[in-house]
């Protein structure tokens, strides 16, 4: 009977070596604790699991996968010194996993998990902000590529802000760390967006996606939503600490030492652009030094901002177009198109703005924000596009259709898009008005800059 159970278990875990080559006790107990874990009976799993962990640590990665679940349960159910012991043991388990199954244990990921665990139980472990920050910083430097958990990236930056507020970190370190984390989040957003875009493009073309693609789509969307939330939280955490009053003297002080440092110049100009400090002469100084040292899409864009600030729209557009031509990365180019479109939208150049938003969508179709912006421009133009009151208000149907596209392609915007759709439909002609007009099902051509048509809903 034992031989039968052992053979079945070996088949289950896919081991390629024979029974004679392994410790029979470890094989049997691994089978036992794994079944307990599947049944979520973690207390019963603990003893056989510890026996295998101690005797055969290299036997199978299930020791570490299941062990994490067992210790998570033990931590939740315990208090005091016992809780602390289980927390420390989980950290030790991850270290052992890295030792015995290095190829299945990304260094940055698991180092960050250990830091996050210690942060979550910082009171029980009596950890200071300095100790925790150093832990995250070491994990980030150890393996930045696999340090990707959104929550841990936020915690890492949050600790830096707390240390800055306590006078233990200078402003330069704070802003540099913000840029580090922001760029890392953008890298992850790019990776997941590119994967999601392939599925979105397939759907938009009317091709049915497979069950596997549907699963991956939800996976990509969940991570993009998490990174979007974390990005907003990071900006909120930074808050007024990065205002013009703080940035300008800092960058003025450090300019001479960094005037040949392209990364520093780009980050300084970028931060002043983000915080609308472009009216200060220092921004001109930074941008020109950066463009002279390292002409790029970013430097051309910043030169466009300078011309835009001077209300030289034609020259600004020239530099913006140069920025687009210099950018070779589609994800970054899409962001450029979006930023330029938003500048034009703010100036009321709706037709041009829409063209740039459409280009942004072509390069990154899973980002629904351009649809939301176009819908808002349609709604803002309703009173100016159409001869009759009915035709003018019909523009809101068009706005609703555009906002609905955002909900379809971008999971992070579903709630906001739904509210916009409801708002626009409420401003469009009611069912009673459609009935009394006798225009149900009619196509209305909308003039002015919009130049589109919308069908009156059937009732």
Examine residue 153 and state whether it is found in any structural domain, yes or no.
no
Same domain, 358 and 455: yes
Same domain, 293 and 359: no
DSSP code string of 154-169 = HHHHHHHHHHHHTTSS
Q: What does the pLDDT look like over 180-209, one tens digit per residue?
A: 999 999 999 999 999 999 999 999 999 999
Examine residue 378 and state whether it is found in any structural domain, yes or no.
yes
Same domain, 358 and 322: no
Burial class of residue 318 (count of CB atoms within 10 Å of its CB; 0-12, 13-18, 19+) = middle
Examine residue 311 and state whether it is found in any structural domain, yes or no.
yes
Distance CA 425, CA 420 (A): 9
Same domain, 364 and 317: no
Q: What does the pLDDT look like over 26-37, one tens digit per residue?
A: 999 999 999 999
Pick from 332, 333, 338, 368: which is nearest to 355 by CA?
338
- For the CA atoms of 208, 209, 215, 219, what is the dihedral angle to 10 degrees? -110
Angle formed by the axes of helices 62-77 and 24-38, nearest 10°: 50
Instruction: Provide the phi-psi class of 449: left if phi over 0, else alpha when psi is between -120 and 50, else beta.
Output: alpha
The pLDDT value recorded for residue 459 is: 77
Same domain, 320 and 403: no
Please name the residues in contact with 363: beta carbons below 8 A apart, sequence gap of 6 or more.
Answer: 330, 331, 333, 334, 337
Whose structure tokens read 């819908």? 375
CA angle 371, 377, 383 (to 5 degrees): 140
Is residue 29 within 8 Å of 36, Cβ to Cβ? no
Same domain, 315 and 375: no
The pLDDT value recorded for residue 387 is: 87
For residue 270, what are the domain limits? 243-326
Examine residue 15 and state whether it is found in any structural domain, yes or no.
no
Same domain, 305 and 382: no
- For residue 444, list its beta bridge partners: 454
Same domain, 369 and 448: yes
The pLDDT value recorded for residue 22 is: 55
Examine residue 436 and state whether it is found in any structural domain, yes or no.
yes
The pLDDT value recorded for residue 382 is: 95
The pLDDT value recorded for residue 10 is: 46
Q: What share of the chain is helix, strand, coil (3-state, %, to 5)?
A: 80, 0, 20
Same domain, 453 and 392: yes
Same domain, 268 and 369: no
Examine residue 414 and state whether it is found in any structural domain, yes or no.
yes
The pLDDT value recorded for residue 4 is: 41
Pick from 109, 114, 105: which is nearest to 134 by CA?
114
Examine residue 267 and state whether it is found in any structural domain, yes or no.
yes
Whose structure tokens read 């200060």? 280
Mean pLDDT by 10 residues, the chain (459 residues): 45 42 84 97 98 95 97 97 98 98 97 98 98 98 97 98 97 95 96 96 92 96 95 93 94 95 94 92 95 93 92 92 96 96 95 97 97 98 92 96 95 94 96 92 94 92
Angle formed by the axes of helices 107-120 and 150-165, nearest 10°: 60
């Amino acid at each position: 009977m034992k031989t039968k159970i052992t053979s079945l278990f070996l088949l289950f875990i896919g081991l390629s070596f024979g029974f004679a080559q392994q410790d029979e006790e470890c094989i049997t107990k691994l089978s036992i604790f794994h079944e307990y874990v599947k049944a979520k009976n973690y207390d019963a799993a603990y003893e056989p699991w510890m026996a295998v962990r101690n005797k055969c640590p290299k036997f199978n990665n299930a020791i570490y996968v299941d062990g994490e679940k067992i210790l998570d349960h033990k931590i939740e159910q315990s208090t005091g010194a016992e809780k602390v012991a289980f927390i420390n043991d989980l950290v030790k388990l991850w270290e052992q996993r890295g030792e015995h199954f290095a190829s299945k244990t990304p260094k940055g990921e698991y180092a960050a998990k250990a830091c996050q665990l210690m942060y979550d139980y910082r009171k029980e472990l009596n950890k200071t902000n300095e100790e925790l920050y150093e832990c995250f910083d070491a994990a980030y430097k150890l393996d930045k590529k696999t340090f990707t958990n959104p929550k841990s990236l936020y915690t890492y930056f949050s600790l830096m802000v707390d240390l800055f507020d306590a006078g233990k970190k200078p402003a330069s370190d704070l802003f540099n760390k913000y840029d580090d984390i922001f760029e890392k989040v953008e890298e992850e957003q790019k990776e997941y967006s590119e994967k999601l875009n392939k599925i979105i493009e397939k759907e938009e073309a009317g091709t049915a996606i497979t069950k596997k693609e549907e699963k991956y789509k939800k996976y990509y969307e969940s991570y993009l939503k998490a990174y979007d939330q974390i990005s907003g939280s990071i900006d909120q955490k930074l808050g007024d600490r990065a205002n013009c009053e703080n940035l300008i003297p800092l960058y003025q002080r450090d300019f001479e030492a960094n005037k040949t440092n392209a990364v520093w110049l780009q980050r300084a100009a970028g931060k002043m652009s983000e915080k609308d400090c472009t009216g200060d002469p220092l921004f001109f100084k930074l941008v020109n030094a950066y463009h002279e040292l390292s002409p790029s899409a970013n430097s051309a864009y910043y030169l466009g901002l300078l011309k835009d600030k001077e209300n030289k729209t034609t020259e600004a557009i020239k530099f913006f177009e140069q920025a687009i031509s210099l950018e070779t990365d589609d994800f970054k180019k899409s962001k450029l198109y979006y930023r330029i479109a938003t500048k034009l939208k703010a100036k009321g150049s709706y037709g041009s703005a829409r063209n740039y938003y459409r280009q942004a969508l072509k390069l990154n179709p899973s980002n629904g924000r351009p649809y939301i912006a176009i819908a808002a421009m349609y709604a803002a133009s309703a009173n100016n596009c159409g001869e009759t009151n009915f035709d003018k208000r019909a523009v809101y149907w068009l706005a609703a259709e555009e906002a609905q596209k955002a909900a379809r392609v971008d999971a992070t915007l579903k709630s906001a898009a739904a509210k916009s759709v409801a708002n626009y439909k409420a401003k469009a002609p009611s069912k009673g008005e459609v009935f009394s007009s006798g225009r149900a099902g009619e196509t209305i051509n909308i003039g002015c800059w919009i130049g589109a048509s919308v069908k009156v809903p059937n009732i």
